[in-house]
Structure formats: structure tokens, C-alpha cells
Amino acid sequence: MNWRFASVVVVLAWVLTPLTSEAAFHSRLGGQAYYDDQLDITWATDANLIGFDTWDNHLVPLSTLTIDGVSGWRLPDMDVDNDGTVVECTAGLGQAGCKDNEFGHVHRYGAGTTWDNGVGFGSPGPFTSITAFTYWSNTTVPIDDAWHFTLTNGSQAIAWQENILGAWVVHNGDVGAVNLTGDLDGDGFVGINDLNIVLGNWNQNVPPANPLADPSGDGFVGIDDLNAVLGNWNAGTPPGSNSVPQPASVAILTAGVLALTRRVCR
């Protein structure tokens, strides 16, 4: 009985450990992509996934491209607010201004908050196949031009779309937030709120218990549902600056774990 009780206490201490959300690239799709929590987009790990081609020809593989079943990929945007101005990401512009240029921001800031600490040909970070050549962006100029960016020195310019340049694909938002196992409340993160849903309905049938507390779908809130949450603990991106249990959450968690302890020790 003692070792079982000790194991539950370990789980309690583990889940109550504060999680600080720091700017970073978060691995997604089994390492095939990384979520940028500063720009709220996901970059393909392979920066040369669809090779070199004209701007128009890149649209063909983009329309059917899937990475681990996820579609909807595009080229990076260099005019996010669509005001017709492509900014140059300089130190004086500041991070907020640089976010209007996805290429400029990733090159100068990466997924951090410090200027000139980004990714490029000589400093790829978690990415692969970043080339010294120029990359097309999603930002076009009438009638048949488009902006491009070089990941060696941060230079940017307009070129005729018939030029053959590289393509680094990105996706809006966090692709890891889709169908995230254990994310019972749907906030894109598996944490204390999801655990409280299970423990708050512990040992109950569904219904009357909350159906969200039964990710296993067996009609009963029990160990399988708890494992669905704990097995993917801390996956996703925390919705706030940190994920620290509030007093009410701690009380619910403690009561739930004690109830679990009593049941296990019988």
C-alpha cells in the first residue's frame, strides 16, 4: 500500500510543478514542424521541402501539400497587416514592428524576443536545409512581381514571379493544437484545467458526469481518462504566460488524488 501511495504523491508533485512559458520553437508533427509562439504560425522543419521554382509553380505543390496529415500550408507573409508596406526588420523598428514581416522576424528574432538572435543559413536552429539562396514570400506586387527574402544577410526585394527561387512553407496557428490528446477544454494545451475536468467527475458514469471527462469514451470517468491527460501532460502551448495551479485548482486536484489514493489502496 505504501508504494502505491508514494507513487500518487509523486504524480501530485509533478503536476503541481509550475510551468513557465518561454518564447521558443515548439516541436510539432513528430519533429516535422515547429510552432513559433511569437508569430503564432508553424514553420516546416525542412526549409527546402518543395524545392526551387517560379512563384506560380510553387502554388501547385502547396495546394496539395500535407505534413503528417495537415494541409493548408503557405509561403511566409512579408506584409502581415496588409497595409501595402513591407517593413525591414531593423533593431530600431522593435519586435512589434518586425512581426509585420514573418521572414524578417524569424531571421532577426527567431522565436525569441532579442534582436539579431534568429535563424538563418549559418544559424538554422531546429530547422534543416536552410539555403543561402533567396526565398519567395506570399506577398505579391501587381502585376506579376513578389517579395523575396535572403536568410544569409536579411536582404529583401521585389522580383519577377518567373524567377526560380526557394520556398519555406508555413501554416497559420499551432498545428499541434488540432486533436491534441488530453486537451479536454480545447485551449490547445494539456494541463491543470484538463486534469480538473477528470478529477472533478471521478468515478462517475457519463451521463450524468461531464462527457469531456471521458476521453476514452467508455462511459465511465476513471483511470483510462486520467492516463489520457497525464500521458500527454504539458503538450501544446500554454494559453498564458505560465501555467501555475490556482488555489481552487489545487484543492480540486488534491481531493481527486486523495480519492484515487483511497481507491487504489483498498
Per-residue pLDDT tens for 95-144? 999 999 999 999 999 999 999 999 999 999 999 999 999 999 999 999 99
Cell of 55: 512563384
Residue 56 has pLDDT above 90, yes or no: yes
- 27-50 burial, b at 16+ Cβ within 10 Å, e below that, comes to ebbeebbbbbbbbebbbbbbbbbb
May I ask the CATH architecture of the domain 2-16+179-265? Orthogonal Bundle (1.10)
Model confidence at 241, pLDDT cuts 50, 70, 90, reads very low
Q: Cis bond leading into 208, ω under 30°? A: yes
The region of weakest confidence among 4-8, 76-80, 147-151, 212-216 is 4-8
Residue 260 has pLDDT above 60, yes or no: no
The model's pTM: 0.65
Residue 230 has pLDDT above 50, yes or no: yes
List the chain domain ranges: 2-16+179-265, 25-172
pLDDT tens digit sequence for 159-172: 999 999 999 999 99
Task: Give the type of residue at 128.
Answer: T
pLDDT for the residue numbered 186: 67
Contact, 38 vs 99, CB < 8 A?
yes
The region of weakest confidence among 5-9, 99-103, 221-225 is 5-9
DSSP strand pairing (19-20 vs 242-243): antiparallel
Q: What is the phi-psi region of residue 186: left when phi exceeds 0, alpha when psi lies from -120 to 50, beta otherwise? A: left
The region of weakest confidence among 16-25, 196-205, 244-253 is 244-253
